[in-house]
Amino acid sequence: MTVANMYKEKGSNPYRPWPARITSIIDLTENERLFELRIIDESVREGFQFESGPFVELSIFGVGEAPISISSAPSKQGFIELCVRNAGDVTGALHGKKCGDIVGVRGPFGRGFPFQEMKGHDVLLVAGGLGIAPLKSLINHIHDDRHDFGNVSILYGARDPSEILFRYQFDMWKHRDDFDLILTVDEADETWGDEVGRVTALFDMIDIDPDNTYGAICGPPVMYRFVIDEMRKKEMDVDKIYMSFERRMKCGIGKCGHCGVGHQYACIDGPVFNYWEAMNLQEAI
């Protein structure tokens, strides 16, 4: 069911959030937490369907709302996970909440990664910093249908070890033979035992079948051009390289114009675009 149809069926105002209860809070770093939410209305909860990559508008009543990418896989029925950095009024207010508190959710909004098209292929996922949050949804989605995919490589870079997110999951993925995970940081400390340097340097450590590989990228805007350059050096097709542009989404339904990228809107035409599409977007990369 699409978001528009779900709101229409419920007779709801698409600008009005649905109440959701915080069911779990996990501290990931000093500034990031993973919140698990459960939409209270059962019929809405059952119709809340998405592919990896979309976002929701999260409301803190009396404060405001902010766009947050969904970190959980679509297969996690009944709950959604949001990885949130304490970086403003809304996110700061959310960090002040506790389990059992009520927040608001609108969505899901946007276009995700082409999961069905990726089946039967190798997948290369590259993340920087907080960009691992939306890719975590895709990684777990692939994990759930692992037999439908070829080689899966994950390259993830952060500024320093204290900013690595989802360490508990990385420890699990490292011990799997069917995931090739490489971590790197810009600045190491005495506890760090993985790579040191930019995430682009990790491309020298992997082999890619360019005719059979889909790429997915998410991270700070400055990294996109350099990661894409590395993917193109590996001769990956431009229409198989996908990236998430989380660009100032607000209304979620293409009405406010706040997330305009050239002639398109990130909230409805994205936030996931392939490189061929992105080359034709003004200000995109």
pLDDT in tens, 117-160: 999 999 999 999 999 999 999 999 999 999 999 999 999 999 99
Query: Of 109, 124, 148, which marks where a domain is finished?
Result: 109
Query: Of 64, 94, 109, which marks where a domain is finished?
Result: 109
The one-letter amino acid code at 119 reads K
Asked whether residue 257 falls in the same domain as residue 136, the answer is: yes
Tens digit of each residue's pLDDT (9 = 90 or more) over 170-213: 877 777 778 899 999 999 999 898 999 999 999 999 999 999 99
Domain of 197: which CATH number?
Answer: 3.40.50.80
Per the CB < 8 A criterion, the answer to whether 134 and 69 are in contact is yes
Q: Beta strands of the chain (E only): which ranges?
A: 18-27, 32-39, 55-60, 64-69, 80-85, 102-109, 122-128, 152-158, 180-185, 195-196, 213-218, 241-244, 260-261, 264-265, 272-274
Q: In sequence order, what are the residues at sequence separation of 6 or more whose Cβ sits closer than 8 angstroms to the Cβ of residue 152? A: 122, 123, 125, 139, 142, 146, 178, 179, 180
CA gap 36, 45 in Å, rounded: 14
Q: In sequence order, what are the residues at sequence separation of 6 or more whose Cβ sits closer than 8 angstroms to the Cβ of residue 138? A: 52, 53, 73, 113, 115, 125, 216
Q: What is the mean pLDDT of the chain?
A: 90
pTM for this predicted structure: 0.91
Which residue range is the domain that position 60 belongs to? 3-109
Asked whether residue 98 falls in the same domain as residue 120, the answer is: no
* Segment 226-232 mean pLDDT: 95
- Domains in the chain, number: 2
Q: Does 68 map to a domain?
A: yes
